[in-house]
A and B are shown apart, each in its own frame.
Chain A
């Protein structure tokens, strides 16, 4: 955690973020229904219940594309970071849209019949051929994953689930996305044959896959660079002049990403992985003497990888030596929070 963060759980930027998010979605839903009536005239379904199902479903699906794009976009340009810090609110809002969509479906398509609506939803269509496949089940799968993520979205859960479990849960968002693409392909696209819909869903898929590959290729540049580790367990990772003041170079040694910071005429190295949500510390900056995570601003002292009191987060540290202007970095992590003497630039 950061010193300045403590008192500011809700700040102006979070409020602007949420207002923009909610206003855009409200406008989307309103416009969707308005447009339906405008184009349909007297031919629109009375009561508009299916129209709302479509409005909620499409809003959730579009928002999911936005959410999935933010991560890789920040890898391509840090200017997207202001969209990232509150991504969880987007996720929760998307989940709630999905819930409204599913509730509408249950009430309109599965109620008023000879079965309980839930039973009807789960067992009504049992033809598991490719095109007749019950696409609703794919929607349910997606919604369950999003629900799990939304419920565990508070930092409280992050601490209790431990970061790896939580991260695994979050990677499931990609499973949810695949299920939902299937849901739309085997559902809405089978009924609505207008090519615009198919093309839009296709472009969405290509964009999501493409932007992840693009970002991954950029990251791989850093992982691909290999360093020779000498007999003392140190590797020459480059020269001092490569690192801007108060910034870091990220290198991968023995499979682990390490952020090597230069500040105040000194060099220190800590793990690149933020304890909060695995944010990339090496893309952070030293502010008030602390390495500050670019995602939500948790802070760590470069000398020992520990958050300043009263906070208790700790990350592993790494020993650093200098020979001339070359930086030698130990490949062996110290236990999180272990003080390491910074290497002083002559």
Chain B
């Protein structure tokens, strides 16, 4: 019916008809721009994410150490060689291979020297072992076991509670809001909650958390994992590791 269209330039398009030339010319310019614009995000976004750090895990190793259950499961591992310059043992936190505290079979041997098979997961000077098994072992000779630690007095520190397994490098960044759900899972499963703090020089300092009765605080901090906190309490040093003793009721969200 519409034989002589008086407006040849009256362009119209539906998807089952050929596209007018000026429209395809427009799309040939617009689409590459749109696609390039989208792809630029793929390139830039990873660089502005907090997802890189030196933490990580290596391979399964056997450790000779003294197994302790409180305030959190940990292993005291004597350091070999001349240790005059620093601590003569390491304080390794313990967890399981999943989001849980170390297996029952391992913790049944708390209070003994053991050979523990674990996967070390370390970031800075904080190390956690994913413990798989432990066998009773002979106490090493000439090692002076210190279960009391050294009290450094009372301090107020600010920081954020993390689960040291993910934070140490299983997941990156393994801290703050996006990781909150996972950290709650880990800590409620028994992974020792640890406060990540920064001093005025920007150094990162870790505090393993304990209540005043030398018990774990896991179930009492789930609601504030990843939040900025202020905690005042006694700091006790074990080797290179600090334990912060305070009643979780007194933790302040800032």
Contact: A40 with B46, CB < 8 Å?
A: yes
A194 to B44, CA, bound (A): 12
Question: Is the C-beta of A202 less than 8 angstroms from some C-beta in chain B?
Answer: no
Q: Are B39 and A43 in contact (CB under 8 A)?
A: no
B6: nearest residue on chain A (CB-CB)? A245
Measured between beta carbons, the chain A residues less than 8 angstroms from B44 are 35, 196
Residue on A nearest B185 in the bound complex, by CB: A113
B34 at the interface (CB under 8 A from A): yes
Q: CB-nearest residue of chain B relative to A193? A: B50
- The range of chain A's interface size is 35 or more
A149, chain B: closest CB distance, angstroms: 21
Contacts A45-B171, A197-B48: A28 and B1 contacting too (C-beta < 8 A)? no
In the bound complex, CA of A266 to CA of B22 (Å): 29
Residue of B nearest to A43 (CB): B52
Contacting residues, chain A, for B15 (C-beta < 8 A): 11, 13-14, 82, 85-86, 296-297
Q: Could you tell me which residues of chain A, from 1 to 57, have a CB within 8 Å of some CB in chain B?
A: 2, 4-5, 8, 11, 13-14, 20, 24, 27-32, 35-36, 39-41, 43-46, 50-51, 54-55
A190 touches B46 (CB 8 A): no
A244-279 vs B, CB cutoff 8 Å, 1 = contact: the mask equals: 111100000000000000011000000000000000
Check A39 against B46 for contact (C-beta < 8 Å): yes
| Interface residues in B47-88 (C-beta closer than 8 Å to A) | 47-54, 56-57
* Complex: A245 Cα to B226 Cα, angstroms: 66
Is the CB of A225 closer than 8 A to any CB of chain B? no
Q: Give Cα A293–Cα B182 distance, bound, in whole angstroms.
A: 50
| Residue A134 is within 8 A (CB to CB) of chain B in the complex | yes
> How many residues in B have their beta carbons less than 8 Å from beta carbons of A?
65
Q: Is the CB of B35 within 8 A of A24?
A: yes
Cβ A36 vs Cβ B14 within 8 A = no
Tell yes or no: B43 within 8 A of A by CB: yes
The residues in B between 98 and 124 inclusive whose CB is less than 8 angstroms from any CB of A are: 98-100
Does chain B have a CB within 8 A of A62?
yes
Nearest opposing residue in chain B for A195, CB measure = B48
Chain A residues within 8 Å of B34, by CB: 66
Minimum Cβ distance to chain A for residue B190 (Å): 8
Inter-chain contact B46/A32, CB cutoff 8 Å: yes
CB distance from B235 to the nearest CB of A (A): 27
A162 in the interface, Cβ–Cβ < 8 Å? no
Judged by a CB distance under 8 angstroms, whether B180 is at the interface is: yes
